[in-house]
Amino acid sequence: MVPALYRWVAPVLAVVAVFLLPALRVTVPLLPSSEWTIAGLGAQIGRSAAAPSNGQPALRERLRQMEDVRRELAGPAARPDHGLEVALALAALIPLTALLAGLCALASLGLAPAPWRRWRLTVAWTGVISTGYAIAASEWLTHVVHAQLAQWWTRAQHGLGGLLQSLHLQTTAAQWINQVRLDPEIGLYLLCLVFLAMLLAPETTKTPPPVN
């Protein structure tokens, strides 16, 4: 009874995570933050980066704004940073992986009453990989951007002979740098945990009737 109920609870939670819970948030200084569900991210595929959805731009547009902030601070003479370009390219694939995770959630709900454990495991593994990718790519981009901005601040301090430090701007700069973020939220984490739970769920076995 418990494994059978468990087989239904996990897919229902997955669908809730896809459509109702926030999955990703972007913050850029001087601009309003943007937040999407997994379904909202997946719906961005094939749409123009500047086309708003529910009153806010797509993820690609916000990633471009993050790059603009770094470029403006680094100055026109700054060389392109390969690590940042890779991080931005990886983050740009998040809507695709979000769509894949959402499809896996729907598939898990459709497969819940079926006895096809191998298919359910395949769906769960695909879901873990896709949500894990989205979490890792967003965290990595935030790390790379913060490292770039911290380097710029250090160079600016040295270039002005410690003037910025004497003005006690260190805390203000750190807070401003920390505002440039791409953060996974509860929807992504919950969906990843639900897919992991599906992998670990015990298989329902029928108890043979007692022999008289």
pLDDT (mean) for 36-61: 77
Q: SS3 of 161, please?
A: coil
Residues 50 and 61 sit within 8 Å (Cβ to Cβ): yes
pLDDT of 162 > 60? The answer is no
CA angle, corner 159, sides to 154 and 160, nearest 5? Answer: 105
Confidence category of residue 67, pLDDT binned at 50, 70, 90: confident
Q: What is the pLDDT of residue 178?
A: 77
Alpha-carbon gap, residue 97 to 111, rounded angstroms: 21
| Least trusted range by pLDDT, from 100-104, 119-123, 163-167 | 163-167
* Residue 53: DSSP 8-state: B
Q: What is the pLDDT of residue 201?
A: 75
Q: What percent of the chain has pLDDT over 90?
A: 45
* Residue 44: DSSP 8-state: T
pTM of the model as a whole: 0.83
In 3D, which of 143, 121, 108, 105 has the Cα closest to residue 21? Answer: 105
